Amino acid sequence: MPQYSSSKKSGCYKKTFFGCAALFLIFFVIIILIIISIKLPEVDFSKTEKREYNIEVDSLTNENVINASFSWRFVDNSLRRRKFDLNLRLLEREVKVAMDYIEALAEMSYRDLGLQSRYPDPITEARIVWAEVYRRVFNNSLPQLKNVMQGFNKIFKEEKFGAKDKVYFVVTFVQNIPYERPGGVLDLFPPLGTLAYRYGDCDSKAILLYVILEKMSVDCAMLWSYKYKHAMLGVKFSGRGEFLTANGKKYYFLETTYPRWSIGELPPEFNNTRFWFIDEIDSNELQQELIDQNEIDKNETRRKVKPSPSIP
């Protein structure tokens, strides 16, 4: 029978020097072979890696379905504060189509977009180009959110929400989606991409809310700033505070990036309305009026136009 010593001293401490050296050498060679056999992944620091979404196969259609779950708290018009859980089932193929459209859009030339090749200054160029990009993303996304709206309408019916509660409900939903930059050439997610990956930046979330509210017959406009590199939503809704006017209609600022911003509130760091553009991107006619150049800091015109108005 083997005898075990009660002493804690064991192993190489009691063995000969050459025996221990041989053991260490074998161990070292094994480690080296393991490291060589592992293919280290290449890291591309030029891109923001997208988080994976959850996929399951639908038993009826045999299609890949993305489960996108959201939880947030909402205070209704009766001051009832409750937690809501919304589980969206998105077809993976539809999400890929939406994401591919953004990539295709990024490859389009000004001629492909139906725009001029030259503009009088970078600010005018940024306004017109991004108005067209946003318009195309909006129009492409309208038919893609049918199932999403069915989920909202089910909640509206169960909760017996009035018109005001419906609007603020979807506003708080989008505001509570985590903020994160999508990356890529346009640094922009389509609405289905924001829902599938469960994050988005300022313009990605603003376009998502734009589509949802327009489907609820709430008139909206896109607001973005070349100076501030930020985007917000404009809402034609009863309220007070800061607004911009388009076609004789007041559109109140709505911050979609983070929760607890009300309609009409404009963050202090972005509060000079002279540096904001407005366009009704759901309109067939793009609003391409030139802004008053005397109201623009001349130094801004010499800065390089970033590929996105998102916060840097």
Give the CA angle between residues 129, 130, 135 to the nearest 5°: 105
DSSP classification of residue 9: -
Half-sphere exposure of 234 (CA within 13 A, CB side): 22
Q: Is residue 54 left, alpha or beta, with left meaning phi > 0 and alpha meaning psi from -120 to 50?
A: beta
- Domain residue extents for the chain: 54-302
CA distance linking residue 202 with residue 211, whole number of Å: 15
Q: Which of 191, 159, 226, 21 is nearest to 94 (CA)?
A: 191
Predicted confidence at residue 30, as pLDDT, reads 55
Q: Which of 142, 150, 281 is nearest to 220 (CA)?
A: 281
CB 140 within 8 A of CB 134: no
Q: The pTM is what? A: 0.76
Residue 185 amino acid letter:
V
Q: Which of 71, 38, 69, 40 is nearest to 53 (CA)?
A: 69
Predicted confidence at residue 78, as pLDDT, reads 85
Q: Please say whether the dihedral angle defined by the alpha carbons of residues 274, 276, 282 and 283, taken in this order, is positive or negative.
A: positive
Tell me which residues of the chain have a pLDDT lower than 70.
1-51, 284-312
Tokens of 10: 């064991």
> What is the residue whose two structure tokens read 């407005």?
278
Q: In what order do the strands lie in the sheet with 54-57?
A: 54-57, 64-75, 81-91
Helix axis angle for 202-215 and 163-175, nearest 10°, is 160
Q: Which of 101, 140, 114 is nearest to 281 (CA)?
A: 140
Residue 122 amino acid letter:
P
Q: Please say whether the dihedral angle defined by the alpha carbons of residues 81, 87, 88 and 93, taken in this order, is positive or negative.
A: positive
13 CB burial (10 A radius; 0-12, 13-18, 19+): exposed
CA distance linking residue 205 with residue 258, whole number of Å: 10
> What is the residue whose two structure tokens read 């734009």?
210
Beta strands in 9-147 (DSSP E): 54-57, 64-75, 81-91
Predicted confidence at residue 57, as pLDDT, reads 82
